[in-house]
A and B are shown apart, each in its own frame.
Chain A
Amino acid sequence: METKTKSRVLQEFQEASKTLMNPALKKEKDKGAKIIGYFCSYGPAEIITAAGMIPFRIRAIGSTGTDLSDAYLSNINCSFCRNALNMGLAGEYDFLDGLIVLNNCDHVRRIYDNWRRKIKTPLVQMVSLPKKISDPSIQWYYDEMKIVKKAIEDKFNVKITDDKLREAIKLHNETRRLQRKLYDLRKKDNPPITGADTLAVMVAATALPLKQYNQMLKELIDDLSKSEGVGKAKARLLVIGGVLDDPEYIKVIESTGGLVVTDVLCYGTKNFRAEIDEKMKDPIAALAKYYIADRPSCPRMFGDQLRRAQLVKDLVKEFKVDGVIGQRIVFCDLWAGEIYMLNDDLKEAGIPFLKLDREYIMAGAGQVRTRVQAFIESMGR
């Protein structure tokens, strides 16, 4: 199965997902634009945009090894972090003017400590992300957002006004609405785009200048709306799990005849399921509320597992999903626990569930293919 639309923008999205420095980003950088990296989808991309800078989510795509980071992280640390730090140490992230790290997990939070000691990024800022969803934790994150805002203002001598923040929120919300439209197309019996290509589109949102991205995505949606479907899938699949930014992984899953029609990923559904309230008087308060309370949460958010499981079940209905694949990067405790809990929830709901452990860098494609094939067969497809 493949996406039938041969649109130029789809190719550009695919290219952007395969590299760190894409042509559009390079063009902006050459013109003097500042680029601020961030390590997690809880990162306040809107504040970076409001500062007139380009938010760039850290990936380790193209990493060729961990020779440099092995001196700092152990072999029981997540391979995403090991590869990302390696790229930082190798100078591949020298194009960053700043980096925002959150304490989202035990591996990533130590990237902050290692990065600020070893890599000369002009601004390296840590954000303390709460682990509960409550009014006090929203207030805590509000204060953290203000601290980040001030750090960017002080470092780069810019003023991030409320008006600029509102404008940035509108721009990011527009992205969310467009992405939702893209996903809506996948609800069709014969969706016009594969899961692998969708992931490329979603990853590109974190690596391209956003205005340009939105324009491109509008074009793509127009093309796909007129396009024929990818073909009859053996099974409609939903993928959940930790950081997954490599469309090749989805391609391997789809090489079995299954089609990934939706996901609960931090490059996917989690980003657009909710929107930031544009009517709130204080834009930072709107950001805090969105990130802590409104957006689908990560397993690190204590006490919200029922809501997370419900989202999976809702999406199974909305997208007519036959089976769920839970993928986890080895040594990720958060997703180990979440998948363990979800296993019972899905069993109770009668939804087939396949658990896959993986490394960040695509390896063992044959094994993944075999397991997905067997999973699809077990569903009688």
Chain B
Amino acid sequence: MSKVDKAILDKQLERLRGDKTLLQAFVDVLSMDPSEEADINRFVLKTVMDKYDEIMNCAENDIPFMAAYFANCPEIFTAMDVPWWIFLQTPFLGVSSPFLASDTDETEKMGLATDFCTVLRLAMFYVEKNLTPKPAGLIALLHPCDGTVVIHQAIGKTKAWHDVPVFGADSPYWDDERTYKYYGEETKRMVDFVTQCTGKKLDIDRLREVCKISNQTYQLWADYNDLRKAVPCPHDWTIGPPQCFALACYYYPGKIEAVDWFKKLVANAEKRVKAGTGMAAGERIRALWFDILPIMWQFDISPWLEQEWGVNIVMNMFGYTPYEPIDTKNETTMFRGLAKRSLSQVPMIRQARGVADNFLGDIERIVKDYKIDCVIWPGHMGHKDGNASIGMMREKCRELGVPFLSIGLDLFDKRYTAIDEVKDRISKFFQASGLGQKK
């Protein structure tokens, strides 16, 4: 590799290496904790680091890898043995906080409207400024929001990625058999695209094995979610829904590592439920945080919620999805099952893509099943569809007899609504809705 190439590559890997350093610090801290829960979390962090290593290795050694999403039927990538990653992982995880704010400021100079979702602006910034490794192909996400549709068109026009082939599977608006058939066919076209980009082919028998493992994973996830219904909830904010999502849908889709991890998680939760010991100290308010929850917000909000108010976020949008197993009988049933999972079941996509019924239905089921005391909609500035659902959410919560709070913030830029203001709004909400006083 030439010196110039190495310089470009170093730049492309700069953020990944930075993230890894930070993650290593978290792992080191957790290593001092001998508990089972710390061990469970350590595995997740190491998994994230492994993903960085895998992609960096591909970039350094010219191994084709794909940029894709958790809603692109990732079991297929496992079956094809294709390395892939979500290139907006860096802002999504929020682990890169030392440069996240300055990167966000830089996005403003690109000329993309500042009311455009910050995480997508950051993704565009990383591509345009060559701060992310270049994939062999990009699989765009055409749902659940407008931002994803346009940002992938824009990325395809950048100098850095103008020669990266792009494919987007067209996603209908419904949740019915016609939709799954159509999307299943689109997914088959995606497989052809991945083959063109990487030279790897899909073996249907291998896909069947992967789907079977994936089904086991999702069954264990469902078992775990059932355990979280217990009062007190076995786990606190440090462990649970985000990790389940990350392992099942992204890092180990259809891989035995996910099954093994979930088994440990379930066993740990089961033990706690039997003993009646929740991790959250003095769980008094059981909350549903109905949106995504990046790591950096968790550190700012979740410990404060627990310590000051006795709040345990028992469930969030990314942890809850009523899955059904993929029928592995034949190719048609598998693609149908993968399509259904990708459109109607995967978190955030499930709630945000189609009509508001899933959105509201999930709130109702979670509130009832998890004995929820209040629903918090953070109102991320990029989630325009969700923010157009606040009236419906409020009415649904009123019908269920639980208080509802809509905040209005940017989950990727803490300056949009300052943390103190968020805390103030939450505090006033708890006081006004009779959920008690500060501890």
Interface residues of A (CB under 8 A from B): 71-78, 81, 103, 105-107, 109-114, 117, 126, 128-132, 134, 136-137, 140, 143, 299-300, 302-303, 305, 328, 330-334, 336-341, 343-344, 355, 357
Chain B residue with Cβ nearest A81 = B388
Interface pair A132/B168, CB less than 8 Å apart: yes
Interface residues of B in 351-400 (CB under 8 A from A): 355-357, 379, 381, 384-385, 387-392, 394
Mark contacts of B130-156 with chain A using CB atoms, 8 A cut-off: 1 yes-contact digit, 0 otherwise.
000000000010110111011111100
Pick from B145, B178, B185, B390: contact of A73, CB under 8 Å: B390
- Please tell me if B171 contacts chain A, counting CB pairs below 8 Å: yes
Docked complex Cα distance between A343 and B172 (Å): 30
B115 at the interface (CB under 8 A from A): yes
Q: Which of B150, B170, B387 contacts A334 (CB 8 A)?
A: B150
> Measured between C-beta atoms, what is the minimum distance from B340 to chain A in Å?
16
Interface footprint category on B: 35 or more
Bound: A128/B182 CA distance, A = 12
Q: How far does the alpha carbon of A106 sit from the alpha carbon of B390 in the complex, in Å?
A: 14
B154 pairs with A106, CB closer than 8 A: no
The answer, yes or no, to whether B52 is at the interface (CB within 8 Å) is no
B115 near A330: Cβ-Cβ < 8 Å: yes
B43 contacts chain A at the CB level, 8 A cutoff: no
Nearest-CB residue, chain A, relative to B393: A72
Q: Which residues from A are CB-within-8-Å of B390?
A: 72-74
Distance in Å from the Cβ of B55 to the closest Cβ of chain A? 25
Instruction: Give chain B residues whose Cβ lies under 8 Å from the Cβ of A343.
Output: 111
Of the candidates B152, B168, B384, which one forms a contact with A106 in the assembled complex, judged by CB atoms under 8 Å apart? B384
Is A71 in contact with B391, judged by CB distance below 8 angstroms?
Answer: yes
Question: Given the complex of chains A and B, what is the CA–CA distance between A109 and B392 in angstroms?
Answer: 14
A-B pairs with beta carbons under 8 Å apart, 9 shown = A71-B391, A128-B173, A131-B142, A131-B170, A302-B153, A305-B153, A333-B116, A337-B151, A337-B154
- CB of B112 within 8 Å of the partner chain: yes
B 99-133 contacts with A by CB, 8 A: 110-113, 115-117
Report the Cα distance A337→B152, complex, angstroms.
Answer: 10
List of B residues within 8 angstroms of A111 by Cβ? 388
CB-CB < 8 A to A103: which residues of B?
Answer: 173
How long is the Cα–Cα vector from A334 to B154 in the complex, in angstroms?
A: 11
Q: When the two chains form their complex, are residues A340 and B170 in contact, meaning their CB atoms are under 8 A apart?
A: no
Instruction: Report the minimum CB–CB distance from A194 to chain B (whole Å).
Output: 29
Tell me, in angstroms, the Cα distance from A280 to B113 when the chains sit together.
43
Q: Using Cβ atoms and an 8 Å threshold, which residues of chain A touch B151?
A: 337
Q: When the two chains form their complex, are residues B356 and A110 in contact, meaning their CB atoms are under 8 A apart?
A: yes
List residues of chain B with CB within 8 A of the CB of A128. Answer: 172-174, 179
Residues of A within 8 A of B174 (CB): 128
* Residues of B contacting A344 in the complex (Cβ-Cβ under 8 angstroms): 157
CB distance from A125 to the nearest CB of B (A): 12
B116 touches A337 (CB 8 A): yes
In the complex the two chains form, is B387's CB within 8 Å of A76's CB? yes
Residues of chain B with a CB closer than 8 A to A303's CB: 153, 166, 168
CA distance A111 to B385 in the complex (A): 10
Residues of chain A lying within 8 A (CB to CB) of residue B389:
110, 113
Question: Is B149 within 8 A of A334, CB to CB?
Answer: yes
> Considering the chains assembled together, what is the distance between the CA atoms of A24 and B379 in angstroms?
43
Question: Across the interface, do B117 and A333 meet the contact criterion of CB distance under 8 Å?
Answer: yes
For residue A353, give the distance in angstroms from its CB to the closest CB of chain B: 11
Q: Output the nearest chain A residue to B170 by Cβ-Cβ distance.
A: A132
Distance in angstroms from A287 CB to nearest chain B CB is: 18
In this complex, the member of B112, B157, B391 whose beta carbon has the largest number of chain A beta carbons within 10 angstroms is: B391
CB contacts (< 8 Å) of A338 on chain B: these are 150
B150 touches A336 (CB 8 A): yes
CB–CB B146/A333 < 8 A: yes
Q: Choose from B117, B142, B387 the contact partner of A302 (Cβ within 8 Å).
A: B142
- Answer whether residue B408 sits at the interface, using C-beta atoms and an 8 A cutoff: yes
In the complex, what distance in Å separates the CA atom of A182 from the CA atom of B107?
42
Contact B387 A73 (CB under 8 A): yes
Cα–Cα, bound, A11→B111 (Å)? 40
A-B pairs with the 5 shortest C-beta distances?
A337-B150, A72-B391, A110-B388, A128-B173, A336-B113
Tell whether B41 is near chain A: CB-to-CB under 8 Å: no
Interface residue? B186 (CB, 8 A): yes
Distance in angstroms between the alpha carbons of A113 and B355 in the assembled complex:
7
Given A302-B140, A334-B146, verify A106-B117 contact (CB < 8 Å). Answer: no
Q: Is the CB of B146 within 8 A of A136?
A: no
* B170 pairs with A107, CB closer than 8 A: no
Q: Would you call A134 and B170 a contact (CB within 8 A)?
A: yes
Q: What separation, in Å, do the CA atoms of A126 and B178 have in the docked complex?
A: 16
Give CA–CA (A76, B170) in the complex, Å.
27
Residue in B closest to A334 when the chains form the complex, CB atoms: B146
Q: Is B406 an interface residue (CB 8 A)?
A: yes
Is the beta-carbon distance between A114 and B384 smaller than 8 angstroms? no
Which A residues touch B112, using CB under 8 A? 336-337, 340
Q: Are B355 and A76 in contact (CB under 8 A)?
A: no
Chain B hits for A339, CB < 8 A: 113
How far does the Cβ of A126 sit from chain B's closest Cβ, in whole Å?
Answer: 7
Known: A113-B388, A341-B153. 20 other contacts (CB 8 A): A76-B379, A77-B384, A77-B387, A105-B146, A112-B355, A113-B356, A131-B170, A136-B170, A136-B186, A140-B182, A299-B153, A300-B149, A300-B150, A303-B153, A333-B150, A336-B113, A340-B110, A340-B113, A340-B154, A357-B113
Task: Select from chain A the residue with minimum beta-carbon distance to B174.
Answer: A128
Query: How many angstroms between the C-alpha atoms of A338 and B153 in the bound complex?
Result: 9
Chain B residue nearest in CB terms to A304: B153
**Minimal beta-carbon separation of B174 from chain A (angstroms):** 6
From the candidates A73, A126, A330, A337, name the one contacting B388 in the complex (CB within 8 A).
A73
Alpha-carbon separation in the docked complex, A111 to B356 (Å): 10
Chain A hits for B150, CB < 8 A: 299-300, 333-334, 336-338, 341
In whole angstroms, what is the CA distance A36 to B151 when docked? 34
- Which residues on B sit within 8 Å (CB–CB) of A130? 170, 172
B-side contacts of A78, CB under 8 Å:
384
Most buried by B among A130, A134, A302, A331: A302
CB B354 to nearest CB in A, in angstroms, measures 8
Contacting residues, chain B, for A140 (C-beta < 8 A): 170, 172, 182
